[in-house]
């Protein structure tokens, strides 16, 4: 009878400083938010800020390995959210939840839609009307 054993190797790796650097990144995990996710949240927020529709502003919240927030323009709101980056690898880029909201405290909002990071600006602009 045989069993399968995993060989875990410890090594150091530079935390990416760009959004492209986090593609295929394997995030650390633990009871507190790791330094890699803290950098990712900052970089992700900066990226989204530069990808907003004309005249829109960003309200950004980072949680324990997830991010969400609102994009607002002219009294209209769009809620966005990405799943836990530790367990849904790459989904932060391919599967972003977006939906209309009544305010920046409306966590239930309208119908769920999904977009990619590449199409974030276009999708949010369409939902803002």
> Would residue 109 count as lying in a domain?
yes
Query: For residue 26, which of 120, 18, 34, 110 has the smallest C-alpha distance?
Result: 34
What pLDDT shows up at residue 5? 64
The number of folded domains in the chain is 1
> Would residue 13 count as lying in a domain?
no
What pLDDT shows up at residue 8? 73
> Would residue 4 count as lying in a domain?
no
What pLDDT shows up at residue 121? 98
**91: three-class secondary structure by DSSP:** helix
**What residues make up the domain containing 109?**
20-128
3-state helix, strand, coil in the chain (%, to 5): 25, 20, 55
> Would residue 10 count as lying in a domain?
no
> Would residue 120 count as lying in a domain?
yes
Each residue's pLDDT tens digit, 26-46? 999 989 999 999 999 999 999
> Would residue 1 count as lying in a domain?
no
86-91 contact pairs (CB < 8 A, 24+): 86/27, 86/28, 86/29, 89/24, 89/26, 90/23, 90/24
With a cut of 50, which residues of the chain have pLDDT below it? Answer: none
Whether pTM exceeds 0.85: yes
> Would residue 5 count as lying in a domain?
no
> Would residue 64 count as lying in a domain?
yes
């Amino acid at each position: 009878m045989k069993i399968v054993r995993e060989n875990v190797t410890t090594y150091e790796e530079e935390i990416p400083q760009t959004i492209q650097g986090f593609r295929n990144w394997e995030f650390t995990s633990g009871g507190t938010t790791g330094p890699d996710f803290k950098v990712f949240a900052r970089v992700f927020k900066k990226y989204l800020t530069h990808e907003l529709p004309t005249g829109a502003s960003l309200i950004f919240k980072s949680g324990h390995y997830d991010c969400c927030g609102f994009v607002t323009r002219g009294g209209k709101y769009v809620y966005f959210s990405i799943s836990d980056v530790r367990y849904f690898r790459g989904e932060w880029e391919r599967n972003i939840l977006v939906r209309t909201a009544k305010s920046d405290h409306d966590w239930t909002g309208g119908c769920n839609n999904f977009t990619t990071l590449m199409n974030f600006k276009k999708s949010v602009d369409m939902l803002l009307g």
